[in-house]
A and B are shown apart, each in its own frame.
Chain A
Amino acid sequence: MALMQENDNQWVEQYLAGDEDAFFRMVAKYKKPITNYIYRMIGDYDQALDLTQETFLRVFRNIRTYRADYQFSTWIYRIASNLAIDEIRWRRRRNIFGFGKKKRVEDEEEKPREELIVDTRSLPDQKCMDSQIGGLLLDAIQSLPAVYRTVFVLKEMEDLDYEQISQTLDCSLGTVKSRLHRAKNLLQKKLAPYYGTNYEMSNDE
């Protein structure tokens, strides 16, 4: 991690010294994690691509304000988090006033989640199973409040440690831990019907 951080800081210095390619080396390094992070936060791939672009534009715009005592990854995740949370709030407001795309009840009836899960055990392809479980998990994550969602995604999916998460979200370690605890409790309740089958699957390994 220290070596990676050194690289990041070097690239920032090189970019500030006039080497434009250094910026695009950063883009190449972070485009996949940032796209995935935003996608998991908002659950919309197209919008995630747009917000990833916007994240890098903001990095470019504010790179002179970056302080090397923070990790570059923390800083870029912070920008991405702010954009994702803004998007979540915007969608929530839009839904309140009835402009958002509403889930059709008929669609849900046509495709009950239980049916998807029942078949997963017999599927030989682990990747396929994972994608279905991932779909369930993604849906459940979307139902969490933004603050819990951010902590859960950063910790369990992006594998950031508590210190990085607290810097990213600008809150204390205790707050991060309690939010993660609440997020897991909420997800546990939501995913309880699917837990048995899938857990056996993961134990079989």
Chain B
Amino acid sequence: MKCRTTNNHLQDYLDHTLPAALKEELECHFAMCPACREKLNQWKWLGEAARRMPLVDPQPGLEIILRRRLRQVDVSLGSRGWFRIPKYAYQAVAVGLLGMAIGALLFPFFWPAGPREEVASQPAVHQEDKNSAQLSRPPLPPLGSERPDASMEGTSVANHPPSALYYSPRIGAPLPGTIISNPEREFVEYLLKGTGQDEITVRMPKTIYIRPSMETDQAYFRYISH
């Protein structure tokens, strides 16, 4: 028998749960192998030391303390049971708050950066206009009465498709390079109507890129159907 096999059966040997033949084989090995014999003796000593470990006394008057605490429970919470905060509620709240914090931190990195290659493919504009456009948010385009829904002027955008939110007067015109995910066709038409001769750059069906007009200082859109 090898030392490894002996080692695997050591606890069973100490528990006296081995078949007689295997036990005899192990004892032969212990007689021949000082390392395994040493390990057996150490494990025996360990078990003995554990069993001999002095006992500590329980709390004096534990029953009285428990009676008092249980009575307090009965008085404060009634006999029907305990009010218990659901398990993992604290952890769930903590994870939620952490997620919100991380989301708030990471938001500017993922939104609203536009693809730079699209910027390069736009018609050339004067450098000074480009600078002015980058420095300040462009003013709202003159939508006026051409808007499909006049209530868009107000601060409430609850009744409009989510895409309209990015164009509401409350928020202002989109910044250069703003990506509007998953725009609805109605919204694109609305932008076209509202901006008159302007163009909209649209990559359907997922993304719409909006850039300001450099010549008129108005929102400038170009419509490209893919």
Q: Once the chains are docked, how many angstroms separate the CA of A187 from the CA of B59?
A: 29
Q: Assign chain A's interface to a size class.
A: 35 or more
The residues in B between 69 and 86 inclusive whose CB is less than 8 angstroms from any CB of A are: 69-70, 73, 82
Partner of A31, one of B39, B41, B59, B67: B59
Q: Would you call A134 and B63 a contact (CB within 8 A)?
A: no
Task: Annotate A31-71 by CB proximity to B: 1 below 8 A, 0 otherwise.
Answer: 11011100110000100110011001100110000000000
Partner of B11, one of A131, A177, A192: A177
The number of residues on chain B lying at the interface, defined by a beta carbon within 8 Å of a beta carbon of chain A, is 31
Q: Would you call B42 and A192 a contact (CB within 8 A)?
A: yes
A24 within 8 A of B: yes
A17 within 8 A of B: no
Q: Would you call B53 and A184 a contact (CB within 8 A)?
A: no
Q: Would you call B70 and A137 a contact (CB within 8 A)?
A: no
Q: Once the chains are docked, how many angstroms separate the CA of A139 from the CA of B211?
A: 70
Q: Once the chains are docked, how many angstroms separate the CA of A138 from the CA of B63?
A: 28
Q: Once the chains are docked, how many angstroms separate the CA of A57 from the CA of B48?
A: 33
Partner of B48, one of A36, A45, A48, A202: A202
B1 within 8 A of A: no
Q: Would you call A134 and B53 a contact (CB within 8 A)?
A: yes
With a cutoff of 8 Å between Cβ atoms, the chain B residues found around residue A134 in the complex are 49, 52-54
Q: Would you call A180 and B65 a contact (CB within 8 A)?
A: no
CB proximity of B55 to chain A, nearest CB, Å: 5
B105 within 8 A of A: no
| Known A-B contacts A53-B69, A198-B45, A199-B42; A157 and B51 likewise in contact (beta carbons under 8 Å) | yes
B31 within 8 A of A: no
Task: Annotate B26-65 by CB proximity to A: 1 below 8 A, 0 otherwise.
Answer: 0000000000000101111111111111111111001101
| Known A-B contacts A24-B67, A31-B62, A53-B69; A130 and B42 likewise in contact (beta carbons under 8 Å) | no
Q: Would you call A188 and B42 a contact (CB within 8 A)?
A: yes
A101 within 8 A of B: no
B66 within 8 A of A: yes
Query: In this complex, what residue of B is CB-closest to A30?
Result: B58
Query: In this complex, what residue of A is CB-closest to B8?
Result: A181
Q: Once the chains are docked, how many angstroms separate the CA of A61 from the CA of B74?
A: 11
Q: Once the chains are docked, how many angstroms separate the CA of A53 from the CA of B69?
A: 10
Q: Once the chains are docked, how many angstroms separate the CA of A39 from the CA of B62?
A: 16
The residues in A between 12 and 28 inclusive whose CB is less than 8 angstroms from any CB of B are: 24, 27-28
| Known A-B contacts A53-B59, A134-B53, A177-B11; A24 and B42 likewise in contact (beta carbons under 8 Å) | no
CB proximity of A97 to chain B, nearest CB, Å: 15
CB proximity of A146 to chain B, nearest CB, Å: 17
Q: Once the chains are docked, how many angstroms separate the CA of A89 from the CA of B105?
A: 30
| Chain B positions near chain A (C-beta within 8 angstroms) | 10-11, 39, 41-59, 62-63, 65-67, 69-70, 73, 82
| Chain A positions near chain B (C-beta within 8 angstroms) | 24, 27-28, 31-32, 34-36, 39-40, 45, 48-49, 52-53, 56-57, 60-61, 127, 130-131, 133-134, 137-138, 152, 156-157, 159, 177, 180-181, 184, 187-188, 191-192, 195, 198-199, 202
Sample of 5 further A-B pairs with CB below 8 A, known A53-B66, A137-B53, A156-B50: A35-B57, A48-B56, A188-B46, A198-B45, A199-B44
3 closest residue pairs by CB, A with B: A156-B50, A134-B53, A31-B58
